[in-house]
Amino acid sequence: MSTKEEKPANIIVPRNWWESLPRKIYSKLERVETSQSWFEVYKLNANTYAIYEPYQFEETLSYLVEGDKRAVLIDTGDGIADIKRCVDELTRLPYNVVNTHTHVDHVAQNYMFKEVWCYDGPMAHEVEKAGYPNSKTAPMVGPGMTWKPLPRGFDVKKWVVPPYKVTKWLHDGDFIDLGGRKLEVIYTPGHSNDHVCLLDKKNRWLWTGDIFYTGGIYTYLPGGDLDQFIKSYEKMIKLFPEFDFLMPSHNEPLVEKEILATVLEKAKLIRAGKEKKYTEGTDGGEKIRRHQYERFAIITFEKQIRG
């Protein structure tokens, strides 16, 4: 049986979500100070940094990944503070942006960078040309979405994501060579139709973007599809011999890989209509369901479910 229907904000954004912070993993990591106090920056190893936005509901994570010759910035975050200035303070290497996908909280400052690489998918081409208007950005700092003051000078009324130029279109199986360190592009649709993971075999890490993180995982957003989501999980699990830890784009890094098997199991049950406990809501007139588990939730359109 479903619970009583609630407003979408309660399906997607749990009340007082910030009460679960700080997350335990961060007490084990080395904190690095920068001029951009909106970000908390953590050193994951000698040449990898997590750039964390804990004061906004998305808890977005971008990553600076360095090789011997160059680096990449994985995603450009929410656009609330200056991520370019932050990265410039962390590395002297030449670097470019690589997007896991093109939802607003991953591309908000793409326009600030000369080199932007992205998967060659339909949504990516649309967002490159159009960016995102204020109607898409402003709700990210609406009531209940932040718990600390926004940076001085930030004007929510003028906040947009301008169009930007993708300088290299990526494809499944491509390698990004940083010198002594390579990232393999793994196409993983389901959350969006332009979504990729990035596999670092040397460090045995998989950057998962939004296909997985410890929180509400969505298949109802533009470009989302539950069937593709399941296939992408099967693809990631086949790669288990190549990595040990997950590097999600929200909430916390360094998550054990075994959790993917649990998510896949639950996603298959949801797809078959066998998971009967959920919370209902609507989005754009369409019914959505939130299936809550111990460390994650799966949020889908009702129409994506067979049962």
Taking the domains of the chain in order of start, what are their residue ranges?
19-216+226-257
Is residue 68 within 8 A of residue 180, CB to CB? The reply is yes
What value, to the nearest 5°, has the Cα angle with vertex 48 and ends 255 and 61? 55
Give the domain 19-216+226-257 fold: Metallo-beta-lactamase; Chain A (3.60.15)
pLDDT computed for residue 206 by the predictor: 99
pTM: 0.96
Is residue 82 within 8 A of residue 73, CB to CB? The reply is no
List of residues 6+ apart from 211 with CB closer than 8 A: 188, 190, 191, 195, 197, 217, 229, 232, 233, 236
Confidence band of 3 (pLDDT split at 50, 70, 90): very low
Confidence band of 18 (pLDDT split at 50, 70, 90): very high
Helices (H), 34-121: 83-90, 104-107
List of residues 6+ apart from 158 with CB closer than 8 A: 134
List of residues 6+ apart from 144 with CB closer than 8 A: 9, 13, 15, 57
Is residue 158 within 8 A of residue 134, CB to CB? The reply is yes
Closest CA to 50 of 38, 65, 35, 37: 65
Closest CA to 79 of 12, 153, 137, 13: 137
Percent of the chain with pLDDT over 70: 97
pLDDT computed for residue 4 by the predictor: 41
**Cis amide leading into 222 (omega within 30):** no
